[in-house]
Structure 1
Amino acid sequence: MRGLDEMQESLFTMSKLEDFVPADHPLRPIRFLVNDALKRLNGLFSLIYADTGRASIAPEKLMRALLLQVFYSVRSERMLMEQMRYNMLFRWFVGLAMDDAVWDHSVFSKNRDRLLAHEVVEAFFTQVMTTADKQGLLSKEHFSVDGTLIQAWASHKSFVAKDGSDDQPPGGSGRNRQANWKGKPRSNDTHASTTDPDARLYKKSDKTPAVLCYQGHVLMENRSGLVVGAVVSHADGMNERIHALRLLDCLPGRHAKTVGADKAYDTRDFVAHCRARNVTPHVARHERRWGGSAIDGRTTRHGGYGVSQTIRARIEEHFGWAKTVGHLRQTMYRGLRRVDHQFKLTMAASNLCRMARILFAVPEGGA
């Protein structure tokens, strides 16, 4: 018998948000880990917000909403608020009841900036790592380091001379004017982007085009492949090694450690600085570098060198996840601080997904 194509709602419905989320949904263990980290930030939240006045968005709800934006590749706050209106899963994760009003996207953005001003994301990242440490997931001796380019939210047309000497190219004015830079030298010393002054023109190799971008740097421990340090810098040929050393300096303890890295780190100054810090540089040998490789037999003869070279490639899993799921291939934010905020949040989200798979056996295709 054919059913009728009609809908008749009941007068009363007795349902809870919990009923709409399957018991084996991958967000359940992630929410448990997130709440555990947020509880330890209660003191920081109390300092940020005044005791009197109009109530704003709860910072715990705000952080969960920002994580959802990363987990589900939501490209804007406006679209996130739209999802919150009708997506029961999103409401459950954030902590909004079915009849709670959803915030305006502009109010959400202003409250997000408050977290940026008080470095809440950095504190949240630290608490997630504290949870991982309590669960015995972190290595204290063996690490890997690498960097990646993050394309800036700025075009080549915005990269103009700092002294204003650029001639107006033919073809009209405005944002869609024709531009021809053939034969004209352009460098970060003489030019800057009017859209994002913190972006730098940089190319990864001679075979790739130069783009306006930032550099993201990651330090990963080798036991579980979790990111223990993340920072964004201006794009520069030296910053990969400089920030690798700064991330190593943030590690606790003066005991012996190892750090795996690719050929870009095979320089005599980086190797010397690592050894001065009691860190053995398990860096890939760059035989064609002028002057030869800085890594000799006293490092490569040990079996741990090959192990570090194998495990260090797992950093690319975080970069790949961040650029495909987390929309970090090209950032939507402008300014070094905002991009750094987005990068740390995305790395924290990547860690949460990996921790959930390890601790709760969440399927690989989860959130």
Structure 2
Amino acid sequence: MMGHQKTVQDQLFYSFHLDDHVPQSHLLRAIDRVLDFSDLPSQLAGHYSHTGRPSVPPELMIRILIIGYCYGIRSERRLCEEVHLNLAYRWFCRIGLEDPVPEHSTFSKNRHGRFRESGIFRWLFESVVQRCMDAGLVQGEGFAVDASLIAANANAQQSVPGDELGEAWKGVSANRSRAVREYLEALDEAAPEESAPKRISLTDPQSRWIAMRGNPAIFAYSTNYLVDIAKGIILDVEATPAYRPAEVESTRRMIERVERQHALKPQRLIGDTAYGAAPMLAWLVEKKGIAPHVPVWDKSERNDGTFSRKDFVWEAELDAYRCPAGHPLRSDWRSFRKPRTRVTQEETIIYRSSQSHCQDCSSKPQCCPNTPIRKIARSVHETARDVARQLASTQEYQRSYRERKKVEILFAHLKRILRLDRLRLRGLSGATDEFTLAATAQNLRRLAKFVAQSAPTPGEGVPI
């Protein structure tokens, strides 16, 4: 017999507890165990008034933001709707069934105001990193660094060539957005670039116009991760324009910040060839004492059949190279009244052979067939480059090469699971907020999984 749903209310009062309807194995339960907001009021004390009506509790807004970044809910309007409907979200935010959910506009006002001014997102990230360290998820022996492109919230049609920015700027100067104001303020402090960008966005000028192989060009930012390779914990994150020198420079700041904040300095740093430039290697080896498990950026190899630089022997005691025919290449064939450093703008020293040696040499067709003499540019940081080359032949380096995938896994998780493949906020400060919150969510998920495994609770486990 077919049954029918009753439409008459059987009970007038119900006994309902949110805690009874959230599974013990739910991810938010595990995250709630590792979160600590006891210091939050002191961090924001100077940014709230002591008079007037009570504001929305900042802990509530941060909890809602954590839900959004943990579950890839990109829209703040939709995020508030999901918190209104989802019982687990209400439980995590300490909102009862009859309590209202904050308006989505509240997030924008606080994100661009007191939250950004107080650096509360950085404080939250650092506190989660410390919790990961206390739980034993960070060893500090090896760090890996890498960057990934995230599309900016900028339309390619609203852009101009870099050398035409002055004329185009007149049309938007009367009503400048926050991202434009930040760009103009940063111009006074930024170091001059070698050349103007190919294109500049009029809505988000701090983003960079870049094209990856096989993909169309876009305006983008780079999220830079410094990761402890033991458990894949993100120790630091920094947003930069999608510009390779800026990404490499951010590595120095992240390593120094982790050393200052958490007293951690790795024995080895793992990275790809982009981090193998001579100044970066010299900074790692000579200043920080970190073994660079990084391929050396080297373009000295020749493919035309002539001798490459590796065919010349370096003689440190004579400060000279020795060619395959046994003749020296020196940087000081001539003497000057005023001593010269002989260091070029590219931080190299040019070593030259003698024309008298080359003109009668039988190896000249293989050495310098089109020039009277042979020249070799040696970096002033060549000692650090040699250290990196020697490390590349060790078994530890091969292990590091395999471990570098842990950073790439985090980027794949960021874009596919957390759905952060395009920014919503504009400007470098907006990208910083989004990347910091996303990295915090990734660390929280790993920490929650570890805590759930260490202290088993009824259920099937925590989904990560």
Shorter-chain TM-score: which interval? 0.7 to 0.9
Match for residue 217 of structure 1? 224
TM-fit CA distance, 1:141: 2.6
- The range that moved more, 145-154 or 241-250, is 241-250
Relative distance call for 1:129 and 1:165 in structure 2 (3 A) is closer
Q: Deviations over 1:190-232 (max 9, x none)?
A: 6421121211112345x44321111111100111110000000
**Given residue 241 of structure 1, which amino acid in structure 2 is its aligned partner?**
V
Q: Deviations over 1:64-111 (max 9, x none)?
A: 100111122212111111112221111111111110012221123213
**Given residue 112 of structure 1, which amino acid in structure 2 is its aligned partner?**
R
Equivalences for residues 328-343 of structure 1 within 5 A: 328-343=420-435
**Given residue 269 of structure 1, which amino acid in structure 2 is its aligned partner?**
P
Match for residue 278 of structure 1? 289
Match for residue 418 of structure 2? 326
Distance 1:110 1:75 in 2: 17
Q: Deviations over 1:28-56 (max 9, x none)?
A: 1111112x2x2233321333323332111
Relative distance call for 1:117 and 1:70 in structure 2 (3 A) is same
> Is 1:24 matched with 2:25?
yes
> Is 1:198 matched with 2:206?
yes
Equivalences for residues 40-59 of structure 1 within 5 A: 40-59=39-58
Determine if contact 1:266/1:286 at 8 Å carries over to the other structure. yes
Equivalences for residues 35-114 of structure 1 within 5 A: 36=36, 38-113=37-112, 114=114
Match for residue 123 of structure 2? 123
Distance 1:74 1:255 in 2: 35
Determine if contact 2:222/2:239 at 8 Å carries over to the other structure. yes
Determine if contact 1:125/1:348 at 8 Å carries over to the other structure. yes
TM-fit CA distance, 1:286: 5.9
Match for residue 3 of structure 2? 3
> Is 1:151 matched with 2:151?
yes
TM-fit CA distance, 1:320: 1.2
Secondary structure of the corresponding residue to residue 326 of structure 1: coil
> Is 1:245 matched with 2:252?
yes
Secondary structure of the corresponding residue to residue 90 of structure 2: helix
Distance 2:93 2:264 in 1: 40
Match for residue 349 of structure 1? 441
**Given residue 300 of structure 1, which amino acid in structure 2 is its aligned partner?**
A
Distance 2:151 2:91 in 1: 33
Structure 2 runs not aligned, ≥5 long: 170-194, 302-308, 311-381
Relative distance call for 1:269 and 1:364 in structure 2 (3 A) is farther
Determine if contact 1:231/1:344 at 8 Å carries over to the other structure. yes
Q: Percent identity?
A: 28
Of 403, 415, 422, which residue of structure 2 is paired with 1:311?
Answer: 403
Distance 2:433 2:132 in 1: 21
**Given residue 258 of structure 1, which amino acid in structure 2 is its aligned partner?**
R
Structure 1 runs not aligned, ≥5 long: 167-186
Determine if contact 1:145/1:217 at 8 Å carries over to the other structure. yes
Distance 1:88 1:221 in 2: 35
**Given residue 40 of structure 1, which amino acid in structure 2 is its aligned partner?**
D
Relative distance call for 1:2 and 1:320 in structure 2 (3 A) is same
Match for residue 166 of structure 2? 163
Please tell me the root mean square deviation across aligned C-alpha atoms, in Å: 2.5
Relative distance call for 1:165 and 1:129 in structure 2 (3 A) is closer
Distance 2:124 2:56 in 1: 17
**Given residue 243 of structure 1, which amino acid in structure 2 is its aligned partner?**
S
TM-fit CA distance, 1:237: 2.2
> Is 1:231 matched with 2:238?
yes
Determine if contact 2:448/2:462 at 8 Å carries over to the other structure. no
Distance 1:68 1:53 in 2: 29
Secondary structure of the corresponding residue to residue 13 of structure 1: coil
Match for residue 175 of structure 1? none
Distance 1:256 1:313 in 2: 18
Determine if contact 1:188/1:201 at 8 Å carries over to the other structure. no
Distance 1:233 1:328 in 2: 16
Distance 2:393 2:136 in 1: 30
TM-score (structure 1 length as normaliser)? 0.86
- The range that moved more, 338-347 or 285-294, is 285-294
TM-fit CA distance, 1:285: 5.3
TM-fit CA distance, 1:256: 6.0
Secondary structure of the corresponding residue to residue 345 of structure 1: helix
TM-fit CA distance, 1:337: 0.1
